[in-house]
Amino acid sequence: MSSTAARGPVDSSRIPRYAGPATFARLPRTDEVPHTDIAVVGVPFDSGVSYRPGARFGGNAIREASRLLRPYNAAQDALPFALAQVADAGDIAANPFDIHEAVATVEAAAEELLRSGTRLMTLGGDHTIALPLLRAVARRHGPVALLHFDAHLDTWDTYFGAEYTHGTPFRRAVEEGILDTEALSHVGTRGPLYGKGDLTDDQKMGFGIVTSADVMRRGVDEVAAQLRERIGDRPLYISIDIDVLDPAHAPGTGTPEAGGLTSRELLEILRGLAACNVVSADVVEVAPAYDHAEITSVAAAHVAYELTTLMARRIAGERA
């Protein structure tokens, strides 16, 4: 990036927050800046869901909720939009009737965005999109560490014989060799499974598990420290299914499970990862049709803000 200062959000003291285009955090579009360090991109696709649809509308709901975000992240003591040029790249339009074509489209579009050296903050969409995003990121960085926040494992084999669904992306990613199997972790998992073999298969793939009950009993600081130790300084991809939060904190999602994290716990764990090399991230499964008073989209907007801050701080540190 040139020495030109990063262009930040619209000045809310001059233009009310409820006015103007609803880009993420009221930031410029990628075509309005000469270079983008972090591209916020939507993927309005939910043809891979197995229960309630609607996550195709999640990205724009998160953008709308992000109007209230402010430039200074007090929790991380950072001005993320000054540390790096963050811009909204719009949406990747994926075929809603052909999952194979949609996966290929997302992969190609993500690869094109990454080619310029940017990092991706992707707004889903259902969790199917994590696989093509990981393919593109791994092509740039090699096999990446994965930190997966979710109520579910998402390492099942198939649904109705389909290999690409929102419950299968990480099994496919392990099979394709695009994940660093020495540094894989689920956080926030809970709820019934199909059988004990689900856990056995998951462990064979290399995943460690921190359940939502573990977070409650051990606390966010200990959990964050454990995750930092497991990840080290490897290139890290963070994938967050918003159903990692309890339905009290995120009712607007497709597959809710009782007993999840609070918004505060999730945000604090993310803040505890400031030393990690986050190369890209996603927030998925926000389904606004089931969202009461925008609770879920507000939570997701703040999660995306924390992830963006982690990446911006890393970029600034690498330039220093």
Binding-site residues sit at 127, 150, 152, 154, 241, 243
Exposure pattern of 133-172 as b/e (b: 16+ CB <10 Å)? bbbbbbebbebbbbbbbbbbbbbbeeeeeeebbbbbbbbb
Total residue length of the chain = 320
Contact by Cβ (8 Å): 40, 87? yes
Angle of helix 220-231 relative to helix 263-271, nearest 10 degrees, comes to 40
Residues contributing to the annotated binding site for Mn(2+): 127, 150, 152, 154, 241, 243
Q: Is 316 exposed, middle or buried (0-12, 13-18, 19+ CB in 10 A)?
A: middle
